[in-house]
Amino acid sequence: MLYQYGQRSDVVPQMSIQLTGPDCNGCRRINSGEKLHSFEILLTDRASLELAATSDLEVQEWLQALCQAVSQGVPEKGEPPSSVVPCCLALTSLKLFACHEDCQTSFFRSLGSVGLKDISGLSVDEEIDYYCIVELDDGQDSWVLYFNCTHEQRKFIHVLQEAWSELFQVDLPVSPLEDDIRRRKCREGLVSVQKNRR
């Protein structure tokens, strides 16, 4: 839910937008706006809400947060919201991007990115190859990636290994996932993803 207040001290919002429901179609950057660093929230039943930030970095942060909220969707009654976001991956020679594709508009929105230099390795479940964990340096949260099939998971690992090896001239460390608690949580996430896909 996004709330707009007239003043910082206001308790009651002037307007609210349900980001995960049918009211919101997404968001995008505005390059031709009257103000610098503009973006808009695309609404279904009324004119888009145009906003401005103080910098391009702030616009990017807003767009990423809004796209992530929109892509989460509405959970079924009685189910907690999932922290798993449907996405596609794009890999360049220097970065891995997670993107959300809006099927209605064909926009790809960045949900996040990580530099290959920040990837320290991959962890894989030796019994279930529908997911893997991209391990990151310096206390950054790891990325748990779930795949539709084992072929997609293997293809991702192969392509990431090639890009990482090209950059560093050594093999990307791939380790078995040995932490029982972490493995259990990942497997529970996989069950949830497969259930929601049906």
Same domain, 133 and 189: yes
Question: From the CB of residue 71, how many other CB atoms can be counted at a distance below 10 Å?
Answer: 19
Q: Tell me, what amino acid is at 69?
A: A
Q: If you search the block for the tokens 């206390």, which residue do you land on?
A: 139
Which residues lie across from 3 on neighbouring strands?
A: 16
Confidence check: pLDDT of 134 > 70: yes
Residues 64 and 122 in one domain: no
Instruction: Judge whether 27 and 42 are in contact, CB under 8 Å.
Output: yes
- State the residue range of the domain holding 61: 2-72
- What per-residue confidence (pLDDT) applies to 60? 82
Q: For residues 3-18, give the mean pLDDT.
A: 77
Cα of first residue to Cα of last residue in the chain, in angstroms, is 27
Q: Percentage of residues in the chain with pLDDT exceeding 90?
A: 37
Last residue of a domain, one of 39, 72, 105: 72
Report the Cα 14 to chain-centroid distance in Å. Answer: 29
124 part of a folded domain:
yes
Residue 68's domain is classified under what CATH number? 2.30.29.30
Same domain? For 191 and 124 the reply is: yes
pLDDT at 198: 55
Rounded to an integer, the average pLDDT of 137-142 is 85
Is position 106 within any domain?
no
Q: 151-174, pLDDT tens digit by residue?
A: 999 999 999 999 999 999 999 999
Residues 74-87 have pLDDT tens digits of 444 444 445 677 78
pLDDT digits over 27-72, tens only? 788 877 677 888 888 877 788 888 888 888 888 888 877 776 766 5
Task: Enumerate residues 6+ apart whose C-beta is below 8 A from 160.
Answer: 91, 96, 119, 122, 134, 172
pLDDT at 124: 97
- Measured from the Cβ of residue 147, the count of other Cβ atoms closer than 10 Å reads 19
Least confidently predicted of 72-76, 126-130, 165-169, 185-189: 72-76
Number of domains in the chain: 2
DSSP H or E stretch at residue 64: helix 56-72
Q: What is the pLDDT of residues 111-125, one digit of tens each?
A: 888 999 999 999 999
